[in-house]
Amino acid sequence: MRASRLISLLLLLQSRGSMTASELARELEVSERTVYRDVLALSAAGVPVYADRGRAGGYRLLGGYRTRLTGLTRDEAEALFLAGLPGPAGEMGLADAVASAELKVLAALPPALRDAPARAGQRFHLDVPGWFRETAAPLWLPELARAVWADLVVELRYRRGDREVTRRVQPYGLVLKSGVWYLVGRVGDDVRTYRVDRVTGAEVGDEHFDRDEGFDLAGHWREQAGSFLRTMLRAEVAVRLSPAGLRQLRHLVDAPNVYDELVAAASEPDGQGWVVARLPVESTQVAYHQLLGLGPEVEVLDPPELRALLAGAAARLAALYR
């Protein structure tokens, strides 16, 4: 346990340059007294770590000192080569950078772990886009990725419906969701989200913006995704489902947790195993197309207009197969 912590402390100093005892304690989740002891242990082992005094002081490594990655376990080394996501990285124009970084990490690994990238590549492949989707990267993705990395303001032209709008955006981050790229950026006082495949132009100049360092991209995305789903599912329908219909419904519901919540709130099965449940839907028309796929395994109870739509479809089907 302590050996792992000493390696983490060393790598923190190597990557960040200088850190105070309180910063190290917070990162390592230990007390400052433990940090003092660990620093002494590193010094005793010959690692050139020293302390700067004063208000702006902290611990740092002697200039130019680097450590090889001899502290990596096999699991850590193999996980490291899974983290590159070469497909998405390539779409952002970072394929060469990722390949170069992997070569440097590979060169620093001890001989016993040199097979880590081959083992990971043989066992795992991440194919991010969904089925039946175009896999070509959006035209302006590399340019937007460059602006995100460098904190550069973007003059964004964006297709909204049948018109094009222009926005001056401070690009905070890019998100890949189900094979679709989204740009998250600040426009005035608002943080907005744009589908990158709807961007028709992106002019990146030399103007830098001051990033809000407290902005949490992952947290913001989770909140926005949840809010988007809540606004999408504006209606609710009451249905009776056979056992087969209840099982098949899982494949027709896109929103996470909706199916599990529906099953948990469903009525007790009747004598034939049918249950009554309420299903949140985007609209009556969308529900019609979803439930039509269940055929005779579902009966709509409410609203009447949806029941009438399915009854009409059933009558037309019966006429076709008469």
pLDDT per residue over 260-297, tens digit each? 888 888 999 999 999 999 988 888 888 899 899 899 99
pLDDT for 187 equals 94
Q: Enter the tokens of residue 221.
A: 């995305």
Find out whether 303 and 284 touch, Cβ atoms under 8 Å: yes
Residue 161: pLDDT band by 50, 70, 90 thresholds? Answer: confident
pLDDT for 177 equals 83
Tell me the pLDDT tens digit for each residue of 26-74.
Answer: 988 889 899 998 888 888 888 888 888 766 678 888 876 766 655 666 7
Residue 303: pLDDT band by 50, 70, 90 thresholds? Answer: very high
The average pLDDT across 128-133 equals 66
Residue 185: pLDDT band by 50, 70, 90 thresholds? Answer: very high
Find out whether 299 and 240 touch, Cβ atoms under 8 Å: yes
* Residue 84 pLDDT exceeds 60: no
Find out whether 196 and 182 touch, Cβ atoms under 8 Å: yes
pLDDT for 174 equals 92
Q: Enter the tokens of residue 209.
A: 């913006």
Given CA atoms 236, 246, 318, 300 in this order, what sign does their dihedral have? Answer: negative
- DSSP class of residue 310 equals H
Starting at the edge strand found earlier in the chain, the sheet holding 298-302 runs 275-281, 235-241, 298-302
The values of phi and psi at residue 43, to 5°, are: -60, -45
| 98 CB-contact burial (10 Å; exposed 0-12 / middle 13-18 / buried 19+) | middle
For residue 86, give Cα distances in angstroms to 134, 164, 210, 218, 273. 18, 32, 30, 20, 48
Cα(249)–Cα(287) distance, integer angstroms: 12
Cα(156)–Cα(164) distance, integer angstroms: 10
- DSSP class of residue 59 equals E
For residue 131, give Cα distances in angstroms to 128, 134, 135, 178. 10, 9, 10, 10
153 versus 213: the higher-pLDDT residue is 153
- DSSP class of residue 109 equals S
Which of helix, strand or coil describes residue 173? strand
Find out whether 63 and 101 touch, Cβ atoms under 8 Å: no
Closest CA to 280 of 257, 307, 299, 309: 257
* Residue 1 pLDDT exceeds 60: no
* Residue 142 pLDDT exceeds 70: yes
pLDDT for 92 equals 75
Q: At 187, which helix (H) or strand (E)?
A: strand 180-187
| 300 CB-contact burial (10 Å; exposed 0-12 / middle 13-18 / buried 19+) | buried
Q: What integer best gives the mean pLDDT of the chain? A: 83
pLDDT for 225 equals 78
Listed range (103-112, 146-155, 263-272) with the worst mean pLDDT: 103-112
257 versus 24: the higher-pLDDT residue is 24
The average pLDDT across 139-148 equals 91
Ramachandran assignment for 192, one of left (phi > 0), alpha (psi -120 to 50 degrees), beta (any other): beta
Q: Where are the alpha helices (DSSP H) in the chain?
A: 2-16, 21-28, 32-44, 74-82, 86-91, 95-108, 116-123, 141-150, 217-232, 243-249, 258-265, 284-292, 304-320
Closest CA to 184 of 176, 204, 175: 175
Give this prediction's pTM: 0.58
Q: Percentage of residues in the chain with pLDDT exceeding 70? A: 80
